[in-house]
Structure 1
Amino acid sequence: MNKYTRQTLVLLIGLTVIWQASGQRKIASYEQYIDQYNHLAAEQEKKYNIPASIKLAQAILESGAGRARLAREANNHFGIKCHRDWKGKKAYHDDDLRNECFRRYGSVKDSYEDHSRFLSERPRYAKLFTLNKKDYRGWAKGLQQCGYATDRAYANKLIKLIEDYELYLYDMGGKSGNKVSSAKKKASKKKLKKGSPQKKTPPANDGKRLLPRNVYKTYGLIYTVARYDDSFAQIADDLGFKTKDLARYNEVPEDFPLRQGDIIYLEKKKKKADMPNLFHQVQIGESMHSISQYYGIRVKSLYKLNRKEPDYVPVEGETLKLR
């Protein structure tokens, strides 16, 4: 599965990309895939409690947005191999070994359904189903830890796809698998339900009380901490900010889902980390954005400091410069 995933990524080189105002480039084939198959992901979420965002991100990554040979010829969008219990049709492709057996499906819908059963019926993935289905970061990290892929950047790649393409909007339930238009994305300010608590919090804390929320200072920056069922709109309302300004300070869309414990800056972040923070070792489930939030530095600055392109995904164990 993993070698085949690498092969599908090669297919994406040279594909048309669309540059957004934020500087993040969007791949047209990804957006087309999302528009075409988001309803299948939403259906599977309702049936199996697997986040639609995770389903879509895995499918895009494993199938090259439906363009890989295995997806085109066998309708296999998740790179699932035959295994001993498979009694259906088969397709053979080179992967970690030559001429490996992969599952062949009659339709893309069958592939989505079988992927859900594959995860829900195997004990090694059982702990994923104890997570909140809106906790896509926990799911991405868990998939890698449970051995779905050997790629050390697998979880981080899923998270980047979900956040770059706002796939988390399909986890909100009210979309009913319909296409989420750009206008709806911009207009949406719904509160999002609880995800997994963020383990890290800023080390410095000389906070003062500002009702109805606590406001703190670290690295010379003013911030607050997201609560259960929180949103940028609610924080802005409580503290007298504009929602768009808070989103801009934190370099995310206004409808970006917040988890309890997330750091929310109330002013623009810095271009480099404060001393003595010189380097950061990447962990499973981290993105360039989450790293930038922890140290109070701008995402673009983090890319620039490390001479990385916008499509770069941090790999577990890798060391990044912070100043």
Structure 2
Amino acid sequence: MMKSLAIVGFGISFSVFGGQTPAKMTQTDYVNMWSNVAVEHMLTYRIPASITLAQGLLESGNGNSPLATEANNHFGIKCSNWTGDKMYFDDDAKGECFRKYPSATESYNDHSLFLTQKPRYAGLFQFPVDDYKNWAKGLKKAGYATHPEYAEKLIDLIERLKLYEYDDKTAPETKGTEILASNAKENASSSTGTKPKTKDAAGNKAASSMKIDESCLKYETHIAKENKNDVKFVVARKGDTYYKIAKEYELAMWQMYKYNNFVDKKDMLEPGDIVYIEPKRSRARSKGATYVAKNDITLIEISQSEGIKLKSLVKMNGYTSENVTVQKGQKVLLR
């Protein structure tokens, strides 16, 4: 069950902006960071990007709440049917259990699945993707949060920050339709006793007669390259996220994180970042290969630069920790 916004959403937001705790992110910062992900999810799940961004802003205090910073939970989803990590926080009751994610991207993924898989939210998908007002009112009516002005707060954020502009990213032929996200449709059908569509003769899930234009889901592709140790990678561009690249190469998020030493919990990538799309090597191909530091550099950065597993570098060089800074001029064994 979702939390009471009055405590975890508004309470945290007010303390952040009331001067008690310096805000680390502004509303503009938050929107800039997560708008691409919100649009991607809109095109995939038919949830308005404006709604996703407004909920993220409201529920996480612009990404500054303890639940967001310590548990990467931007939507206040509690531990119902959850087997992952947990964080306990005072909400409607003392010490309630909330889901804890390895990254905020996972929170965004879970939020989309939460709305599309819960039958009580199925009715939302009858609204056009650009009808944020009915979506906001529908979320309140379905019991997403207990605050009496929840819908009004979402609408105010959307209009004040012009978040509705992100809802225009859908293809013209999909706007104004009443397409249900597939999971929501199946769940809603089963809950009303109507037999949902299952599989066709080829064993594939039967598609709805009304489909989202798949051209909306296409992005400029990245060109995969191989480094000198034969590890495939791509170079991040402006606006890239691990989620976007994982989707392009059909990888799970845990694979992206594992391949790229995901230790700083940074979902947004910087232009020029190296992103590996397959496991790194345990050692360099060339015998006697070494890395000579031109400047002070961390072992994690060397691992990312050379495509050598971090644990292997630690073991080969006799380090006791992965959090090592290699000094300028120092050699690091790569094999």
Q: TM-score, normalised by structure 1?
A: 0.50
Structure number with larger C-alpha Rg: 2
